[in-house]
Amino acid sequence: MINDTEMLTYILQNAEMGCQGVKNVREGKPNSTLDSVLCDQLARYGKIYQTASNMLRVRGEEVHRINPMARTMAKLSTVRDLKRDPSSPHIAEMMIKGNTMGVNKMAQHLRDYDRTDPNITLLAKKMLDVEQAHINEMRTFL
């Protein structure tokens, strides 16, 4: 079972990885329509990150960000992929893969969460909804 702190930390790190992924892709200078959608996604991830961070701090817990090595590896992978194909359909495909991974892992964590705090459950479900919405948005660029 996953407790409140572990679940909030996972939500925070999932949102942080989403922010990082969007920022990495935006450095590849996508077209303005795609960039606008990515900016909206970044804002959604940022709100969830802030909410999880605040909930952890209120509980007196330390905020544990994603591993710097994982962040660096994700960036290098994105740079490599964008050099190979910087097109909007390819960027959309990359983002869909990341969002799908986020959906799957969040669903697993939510299943394992002891659900003692309904606000944390709600935030986790919101994260799932955001990831799914992002997938749907990216499909239009395929």
Give the pLDDT confidence of 57-94 residue by residue, as tens digits.
Answer: 999 999 999 999 999 999 999 999 999 999 999 999 99
pLDDT of 48: 98
pLDDT of 121: 97
What span, in angstroms and rounded, lies between the C-alpha atoms of 79 and 25?
8
In the CATH scheme, what architecture does the domain 4-139 have? Up-down Bundle (1.20)
Cα within 13 Å of Cα(9), Cβ side: 14
Cα within 13 Å of Cα(22), Cβ side: 24
What span, in angstroms and rounded, lies between the C-alpha atoms of 132 and 83?
27
pLDDT 10s digit of each residue in the chain, 142 long? Answer: 999 999 999 999 999 999 999 999 999 999 999 999 999 999 999 999 999 999 999 999 999 999 999 999 999 999 999 999 999 999 999 999 999 999 999 999 999 999 999 999 999 999 999 999 999 999 999 9
What span, in angstroms and rounded, lies between the C-alpha atoms of 81 and 103?
22
Specify which residues 2 forms β-bridges with: 113
